[in-house]
Amino acid sequence: MHRTSKPSLLSGGGFGSDPSGEHANLSGFVNLVFLLFVVTNFRLLLENLLLNGLRVTLPSFADLLRDAEAFLDGAALQVKLHALLRTAAVLAVPILFAFGLERAAVQRTPFSRFSRRFVDPLHAINVGASLALPAALVGTERHYGGAGGGVLLLICSVTIFLKLVSWAHVHHDLREAGKESRGEAEGSLDARLAKYRSTVSDTDGASLHYPNNVTFGNLLWFLVAPTLCYQLDYPRTPRVRKTYLISLVLRTIMLWTLLPAFVVQYMLPLLETSIEPIMAGDVARILDRLLRLAVPVTYVWLVGFYAFFHVWLNLLAELTRFGDRVFYKAWWNAIDFEGYWRTWNMPVHMWVVRHAFFPIQRHVTSSKVLTGLLCFTLSAVLHEIVVAFPLHSYRMPLAFVGMMSQVPMLPLSKLLRRYTQGTAFEQAGNFLFWVTFCFVGQPLCVLLYYVHATQAVHASA
């Protein structure tokens, strides 16, 4: 019966608010949204199969035999072997040179004292070559497994570039700290390094000390470990868990098999039917293709994130017993763009802070805004290198433009967060983030890159 004034359950307060503080339980609606999500995606799956058929099939024995014969063909095999040797050379030579420089610097000979003057300039040339040579090779050669092989090679090159920068930077600091401890230089670098080392826990046995760390085994371990920042001691796990390692290997195989199949089955048909409306300038049909493309592109992005940042990096961590496995944070809850870039890729974020942000602040400018802009530009350039050289899209730097277009979004999303914090619209920044990435930026970049690649193929035919 009616005894007192009460609001409707979905009112959420206001006039006649319920003094008992009862709130609506929306778990039933959450279940409904989940069911709608499943049914909608099942319908898209069924529609795709009805329109395009099954485009991904297992190869027959005859197909495998024919591919093996083509691969082992004398002339073709020679070209592939030469490409493999060139790839190994451009990846390995900078690593060997970086190690040789540091070994020469720690030798107690007259030559080593002379060579220490040139270690830093030679490191700078070497790390530049570690990125420039593979990029030039991919940009001029076409025997690296197509665009996918070129992207993979340049991802490896960028990773080696970042690791060698850290290797050179840390050893520069260690040499300077050694001068301080011997009274050859003034400053507090030695004390800062010692203070940081005292905070590293869960290390494996005795700590390494410079120059005993300058061994090829130590450098190889760092190159394999899932980190871009070199240091003398790392948190380590007690042992390799074999069962967990096997599960990671199986997940790696399954996911990296699933992703290309998903692209072929779901993304390629949409891309193939997008050429005509783009050439005709039909805005409505282009928008339709973008919205259709948003779903599979988002799936590829999320599955790719899980496959790389969780499965692959944990696999490397388990093999090397690397202890600090925070490779990402809860970026999906980001309510501004800065929060996303701080949490999406923790190895790169830590490298940027350590080897770009603070050095720029010390030696270039004290402005945090300008320093952040320079760091963001560096990241955009590296993204563009990975994509532009394999696709030969030098005149269309979409990766660079796509990243730099987020620069004005950084202060705008911060402003939005400030004005909506504590209100019913405080998640507006998170909605803006998802819309920008999943429904505008990424589908548009994929579509434009596909159009460019298609035009390049027709032009060369």
Residue 46 lies in a domain: no
Average pLDDT of span 59-79: 59
Judgement on whether residues 101 and 203 belong to the same structural domain of the protein? yes
Per-residue pLDDT, 397: 84
Burial class (CB in 10 A: 0-12, 13-18, 19+), 334: buried
- Least confident span in 114-118, 222-226, 301-305: 114-118
Q: Can you give the pTM of this predicted structure?
A: 0.85
Q: Which residue, 224, 259, 292, sits at the end of a domain?
A: 224
HSE-CB at 101 with a 13 A cutoff on CA atoms is: 25
Beta bridge partners of 322: 236
Per-residue pLDDT, 328: 94
Judgement on whether residues 342 and 447 belong to the same structural domain of the protein? yes
Judgement on whether residues 257 and 290 belong to the same structural domain of the protein? yes
Per-residue pLDDT, 65: 62
Whole-angstrom distance, CA of residue 187 vs CA of residue 286: 61
Per-residue pLDDT, 148: 78
pLDDT exceeds 90 at position 40: no
Per-residue pLDDT, 223: 96
pLDDT exceeds 80 at position 121: yes
318 pLDDT band, cuts 50/70/90, is: very high
Of 381, 403, 405, residue with least CA distance to 394: 381
Judgement on whether residues 259 and 387 belong to the same structural domain of the protein? yes
Judgement on whether residues 82 and 170 belong to the same structural domain of the protein? yes
Residue 132 lies in a domain: yes
Q: Which of 143, 172, 310, 383 is catalytic?
A: 383
143 catalytically annotated: no
Judgement on whether residues 185 and 263 belong to the same structural domain of the protein? no
Residue 65 lies in a domain: no
Judgement on whether residues 305 and 371 belong to the same structural domain of the protein? yes
Residue 4 lies in a domain: no
Residue 280 lies in a domain: yes
Residue 85 lies in a domain: yes
The residues, ordered by sequence, that sit 6+ positions from 45 with a Cβ below 8 Å of its Cβ are none
Higher pLDDT, 83 or 171: 171
Per-residue pLDDT, 89: 84
Of 403, 414, 406, 423, residue with least CA distance to 336: 414
Judgement on whether residues 118 and 201 belong to the same structural domain of the protein? yes
Whole-angstrom distance, CA of residue 283 vs CA of residue 319: 51
Q: What percent of the chain has pLDDT over 70?
A: 81
Per-residue pLDDT, 59: 64
pLDDT exceeds 50 at position 413: yes
The helix-helix angle for 216-224 and 146-181 (nearest 10°) equals 130
Q: Which residue, 224, 249, 271, sits at the end of a domain?
A: 224
Say if CB 384 and CB 397 are below 8 A apart: yes
Mean pLDDT across the chain, nearest whole number? 83
Per-residue pLDDT, 188: 62
Average pLDDT of span 70-74: 57
Average pLDDT of span 397-425: 87
Residue 439 lies in a domain: yes
Per-residue pLDDT, 364: 87
Per-residue pLDDT, 15: 44
Judgement on whether residues 162 and 100 belong to the same structural domain of the protein? yes
pLDDT exceeds 90 at position 147: no
Count of the separate structural domains present in the chain: 2
Judgement on whether residues 169 and 262 belong to the same structural domain of the protein? no
374 pLDDT band, cuts 50/70/90, is: very high
Residue 19 lies in a domain: no
Q: What is the residue range of 118's domain? A: 75-224
Identity of the highest mean pLDDT range in 145-159, 377-391, 417-431: 377-391
Q: Which residue, 178, 200, 224, sits at the end of a domain?
A: 224
The number of angstroms, rounded, from the C-alpha of 75 to the middle of its chain's C-alpha atoms is 36
Judgement on whether residues 317 and 412 belong to the same structural domain of the protein? yes
Per-residue pLDDT, 228: 95
Whole-angstrom distance, CA of residue 230 vs CA of residue 208: 13
Tens of pLDDT along 243-271?
A: 999 999 999 999 998 898 888 888 888 88
Judgement on whether residues 247 and 207 belong to the same structural domain of the protein? no
